[in-house]
Amino acid sequence: MESANCKRQKTVMVSFSGLDGAGKSTQIANLQAALAAAGKRTRLLAFWDDVVVGCRYREGFVHKAYKSEKGIGAPGKPVERRDKNVRRWYLTLIRHALYFADAVSLFFVVANSARECEVLIMDRYIYDELANLPLRNPLTRIYIRVIEAIVPRPTVAYLLDADPEEARARKPEYPVEFMRKSRIAYKQLALLLRTLTVIPPLPLNDALRAVERAFWLNTGLRNNATLRAVSHDDLSIAPAA
């Protein structure tokens, strides 16, 4: 499985994870523009569309079984989704099985895609699924280590931290209380893995600079464009190695 490792393929891989409404799409678009200005070839993959096994069937199931609304929430147009926020013991077992299948799929997708670009950008990653599991459970922690051994490790794995109320206002899809619990879960996962680059809640321009700065610091790529300086004090970065 080492052949899928991005470094060995001479391809940098970065992933973006976090709450719905944390600003992943904005950050990805900005990073793509910065990399294009620096002369880097990029490819963007969406975890749900390009990696997840049987995504259409899984989405169809939650619509029928749990009456989850379709669409993407927007300010003034909320969508009440019922999928990852539905917690049942049997769903937890099913999620463990499905996420393992997604991990295997991720291995092959990255192996095939990393050859085609200098920088592979992942819109969400396996971490967004793992954050849905009961992280305090010892067996789940062992399971996470197994998954971590299967999937390629991103050169930079961003975790965009966000205030749940503000994230819900930008993308109204899940109850605020669920988003508060999800935020805690992401932080627990970051502490467990210690490989995530956590971008704290910052004003937009500061957050954009923080993501760019973390990219150039951790990838070792040369930036031929002008790099905007940002203080290390503005970043909360876990080791990416």
| Domain that residue 122 falls in | 2-184+191-237
Q: What is the pTM of this model?
A: 0.87
CATH code: domain of residue 202: 3.40.50.300
pLDDT digits (tens, 9 = 90+) for 183-221: 999 999 999 999 999 999 999 999 999 999 999 999 988
Sheet holding 236-237, edge to edge: 42-46, 119-123, 12-18, 156-160, 196-199, 236-237
CA dihedral (110, 116, 120, 122) in degrees, to 10, reads -50
pLDDT digits (tens, 9 = 90+) for 3-61: 344 444 479 999 999 999 999 999 999 999 999 999 999 999 999 999 999 998 998 88
Q: What's residue 220's pLDDT? A: 84
Strand 12-18 relative to strand 236-237, pairing? unpaired
Structural domain count, the chain:
1
Task: Give the mean model confidence (pLDDT) for residues 156-176.
Answer: 97
Q: Quick check: 197 and 157 in contact, CB under 8 A?
A: yes
C-beta neighbour count of 87 within 10 angstroms: 12
